[in-house]
Amino acid sequence: MGRLNVTLCGIELDNPVIPASGTFGYGYEFAELYDINVLGTFSCKGTTLAPRFGNETPRITEAPAGMINAVGLQNPGVEQVIARELPRLKSVFRKPMMANVSGFSVEEYAAVCQKLDREPQVGWLEVNISCPNVHGGGMSFGTDPRQAAEVTRAVKAVTTKPVIMKLSPNVTDIAAVARACEEAGADGISLINTLMAMRIDLKTRRPILANTTGGLSGPAVFPVALRMVWQVARAVSIPVIGLGGVSSAEDVIEMMLAGATAVEIGAANLREPFICRDIIADLPRVMDRLGIDNLRDIIGGANQ
């Protein structure tokens, strides 16, 4: 194994860098810019059972040191993802990918995961129980440990691939939710999704987003995400993926010291489409400066 290699739920990655769901499309779009096989893997756009147009516009606005989005899980639905998106991806990406799954009921989560579980390109199922931008699903499952466990059990009952539960930061005790998912059979935890936020137009005196509220991402949330990754890594024995405001090789290393096995990069992709490639290239330099021989040795270093 090389200096950057890590193992996520039994699958080896060339490096821990993973573009986050919703910021990297279905992968092949970025393959027009660079060879995406340099990535550890990537998490595809959130996929639901039926096609979704998403929320009304405007659904993105700027914020200090970040952005707020209320896209609302726009996607073509799982059948089209399997029939159209995955074959296009296969032509440019030779590694297992991470399928991000969203739903509006326990049954829907299970149905989508069962369909994607059959696809050889899918290495992991990242189950999003944390989206703050939709009504009647998403985050509602991730704010209650019992409901989070119910989704986890339902998905595990119909899948054979590693299941990673993506958690919401909009809770009082995120460690309790993570423990509930682990006890229900989750193979890993990813966190954090976006923080609930809003902006008001001073001229119209109305919320800027048509959805009123959305999810805050970007550098502003990094310290919050780091704290929650640290808490969850101490609370569970399964792998943790850290995300939230990561935008440099130093941020990746900090997340890993907090307990992350791998690190997702989200909003930074929208500002700089080459950011993941460049962070991977920069990791050896930063490791040398900090006296790190290999990344596997530092996972959870701040928890010891």
Q: Token digits for 40?
A: 């550890």
Of 116, 104, 5, 46, residue with least CA distance to 266? 46
For residue 81, what is the DSSP state? I
Largest pairwise CA distance in the chain: 57
Q: End-to-end CA distance of the chain, in Å?
A: 24
Is the CB of residue 164 less than 8 Å from the CB of residue 123? no
Contacts of 104 (CB under 8 A, 6+ apart): 48, 134, 136, 137, 138
From 9, 44, 113, 131, the catalytic residue: 131
Residue 226: exposed, middle, or buried by beta-carbon count in 10 A (0-12, 13-18, 19+)?
buried
Beta strands 262-265; 97-101: pairing state: unpaired
Q: Is 44 one of the catalytic residues?
A: no
* Active site residues per annotation: 131
